[in-house]
Structure 1
Amino acid sequence: MSFYMFKGRYSTDALRALVDTPQDREAAAGAMIESMGGKLHHLFFCFGDDDVMALIEAPDDDTMAACALVVGASGTMSGGSTIKLMTSKEAMKAMEAAGKGRAAYQAVGS
């Protein structure tokens, strides 16, 4: 399973609804993600450009894309993005592969 960080911005209508009637969005998101074979590890509300950030574990990119599409199609978000995360072990594997591939790469200006 892979890890992903979903960042999202609620629409004005969704924010108004949350203020009028506070709701546990972590439970709602977790149920949907679990129904698709994934796991919601954390959902954080935050300040700044985004309103929420979620750490999600999903079996593959297709599953994570489907989860993001469900949320996007609901109309409650005005924007968002998904970032695929790598463990240190996965990053080390990529670094080793890059070391092997370096000989075949010609840098700009060389």
Structure 2
Amino acid sequence: MAKYLFRVKLTVDGLKGLLKDGGTARREVVERMVQSLGGRLESMYWAFGEEDVYVTADLPGNTAAAAMGLVTSAAGGVRTSTVVLLTTEEIDEAARKKVEYRAPGA
């Protein structure tokens, strides 16, 4: 499974829903959604700042992550951006790959 970070910004409608239902109810909805995609919710944190919520989840792959972002944003209560998270081992493997590349102007 791959790990993803979803950065979530609530819209006005999303904020109204949060005030009505509460954070615990939203976490349950997110957990069921992740499970329906064959994944596991790792964490969900509410935050101050540019984003309102940070969700980390293990998902089967990019298409599951894309589906989650598409469905939640299309519903109108949130806008999301998705970050693919890599393990230390994955970075080590990437660093060992031989890549042919020439910098611009070199």
TM-score using structure 1 length? 0.88
Indicate the residue corresponding to 1:89 in structure 2.
89
Deviation at 1:23, TM superposition (A): 4.2
- Greater mean deviation of Cα atoms: 19-28 or 50-59: 19-28
Could you tell me which amino acid in structure 2 is paired with residue 65 of structure 1?
A: A
1:75-86 alignment to 2 at 5 Å? 75-77=76-78, 79-86=79-86
Q: Secondary structure at the match of 2:76?
A: coil
CA distance in 2, matches of 1:66, 1:81: 12
Structure 2: gaps (5+ residues): none
- 8 A Cα contact 2:41 2:58, kept in partner: yes
CA distance in 2, matches of 1:105, 1:13: 47
TM-score using structure 2 length? 0.91
The runs of 4+ residues in structure 1 deviating greater than 3 Å are none
CA distance in 1, matches of 2:15, 2:55: 17
1:1-110 alignment to 2 at 5 Å? 1-24=1-24, 25-77=26-78, 79-97=79-97, 100-101=98-99, 104-110=100-106
- 8 A Cα contact 2:46 2:52, kept in partner: yes
Deviation at 1:2, TM superposition (A): 0.3
Report Cα offsets for 1:75-107 as digits up to 9, x if no partner.
111x2200001000001000111xx22xx3222
Q: Secondary structure at the match of 2:82?
A: strand
Identity in percent:
31
- 8 A Cα contact 2:13 2:76, kept in partner: no
Task: Give the root-mean-square deviation of aligned CA atoms.
Answer: 1.3
Structure 1: gaps (5+ residues): none
Could you tell me which amino acid in structure 1 is paired with residue 39 of structure 2?
A: G
